[in-house]
Amino acid sequence: MQKPLKKIVIAGGGTAGWMAAAALSRLMGKELDVTLVESEQIGTVGVGEATIPTLVFFHRLLGIDEKAFLSATQGTYKLGIRFENWRDLGKDYLHAFGVTGKDCWACGFQHFWMRARDMGIAGDFGDYCLERRAAESEKFSHLPNNGLNYAYHFDASLYAKFLRNFSEHHGATRVEGKISQVLLRPDDGHVRALKLDSGRELEGDFFIDCTGMRALLIEKALHTGYESWSHWLPCDSAVAVQTASVAPPVPYTRSIARESAWQWRIPLQHRVGNGLVYASSYQSDDSASEQLQENLAGNMLADPRLIRFQTGRRRKQWNKNCLAVGLSSGFLEPLESTSIHLIQQNIMRFLRLFPAREISPVEVDEFNRQADFEMERIRDFIILHYKVTEREDTEFWRYCRHMPVPDTLATKIDMFRETGHVYREGNELFVDSWQQVMLGQGLMPKRYHPLVDSMSEKELEEFIGQIKSSVDTSVARLKNHEVYLREILAGAG
């Protein structure tokens, strides 16, 4: 009989490490010995503070209490992202998490909306999305049957601490120490152990690399290789800083396009996370730091931090007996708050394909195929924001507007422009989001589906009006976001 995998060693803490420890200890703790090694001397990036709705379901799977989580992480609710100046200067829109309107068997709601707009009886596309209207009204409440799609903003450092307590409660063991060497097995090149600066060796059957961009296991030891996407996503630097709150937290992230960069604002209970993502070939570090500081709404709570990155992915997310999770697996800029989602997905994908005995190449290949597909489609969605723009005011935006893009994205753009259709391929993450962003960025289809013409003008007006009325009624039932959050936290115990 082949030896079963029993001892899992997680290299590195932070959000990635402790999410992995939390899932493994909570869901498979009776079968596994989970050890996480991290050093208090090594900092984490710690700026991944905005999420998407998949995290809500991850927490539910693990049995994490939402009130306790929000209280421990200074969290707030999030209904979407407001994009400012992305289409053009002074033109804004909000990409919300919900579904817009109501589809039929043959075509999406955008086809009905386009005809109604031509008739002059439809408002903005976002008027028919509950989450967008709620975000713009700065409202939030839990609705029956998960009637409102939402995510969170939270303090990433506090989140790691929260998950550490959760993981240790479910049997995970933390080891303090710096990794000085990754020891490989001479027969097959798999990882045998992590040697710490104290001289201690942590042996394991399987290793999860959460060492961030250093990628100590997956790259420095196993030489997996990296595929750069910087020709499609030219931003390679960020400067980040935390500021004091000067207004109640809104239930959305702000993404503000600048001359050769974009700025984020993430409202928490106690402070605001800020950052500027920029292309160093178009803007100097000093200029970026100055631009960020000139556009802050509150006093800085610390000195700005500079972060370097290269967009792209590891050529294998799973190599031999090592899985890359988080920044060790690659980097996609946080424009659509997908960093934590990708951490979560690699963890859950690994659990679904968890080897019953020794590792099978078939499992490894399937894992990497799924991981590659997901990351490529998210990559395309992020590139979309840069490519489909009307901005020509700077060299940076002229480059983005006219750059070639992956064929998979070019096909989606052409399809929507010519027919108004958006098709979901496989298990793509984003669905309704595609038309929200394409319309928000100014891409209007040339025609709508002919089925829409089977409706009379009166029927179409009633159909559109009923959806709008339903959204209006639901928004009116919601509470102010700050008020509702205060009520939730009061019951956190």
Q: Radius of gyration (Cα) for the chain, nearest Å?
A: 23
Q: Comparing C-alpha atoms, which of 321, 329, 343, 352 is closest to residue 28?
A: 352
- Return the half-sphere exposure (C-beta side, CA atoms, 13 A cut-off) of residue 426: 13
Separation in Å, CA 48 to CA 110, 336, 384: 32, 11, 21
Angle between helices 14-28 and 339-352 (to 10 degrees): 30
**Three state DSSP letters for 120-173:** CCCCCHHHHCHHHHHHHCCEECCCHHHCCCCEEECCHHHHHHHHHHHHHHCCCE
- Return the half-sphere exposure (C-beta side, CA atoms, 13 A cut-off) of residue 238: 23
Burial class (CB in 10 A: 0-12, 13-18, 19+), 355: middle
Bridge-based pairing state of the strands 206-209 and 7-11? parallel
Q: Comparing C-alpha atoms, which of 444, 459, 463 is closest to residue 128?
A: 463
Whole-angstrom distance, CA of residue 52 vs CA of residue 336: 8
Angle between helices 361-387 and 407-419 (to 10 degrees): 50
Residues in the chain: 493
Whole-angstrom distance, CA of residue 130 vs CA of residue 132: 5
The residue annotated as part of the active site, out of 78, 139, 316, 412, is 78
Whole-angstrom distance, CA of residue 369 vs CA of residue 112: 36
Q: Comparing C-alpha atoms, which of 189, 197, 188, 186 is closest to residue 217?
A: 189
**Three state DSSP letters for 168-227:** HHCCCEEEECCEEEEEECCCCCCEEEEEECCCCEEECCEEEECCHHHCHHHHHHCCCCEE
* Residue whose entry in the numeric block shows the structure tokens 């005809």: 115
Burial class (CB in 10 A: 0-12, 13-18, 19+), 389: buried
Active site residue 7: no
Whole-angstrom distance, CA of residue 472 vs CA of residue 403: 41
Catalytic residues: 78
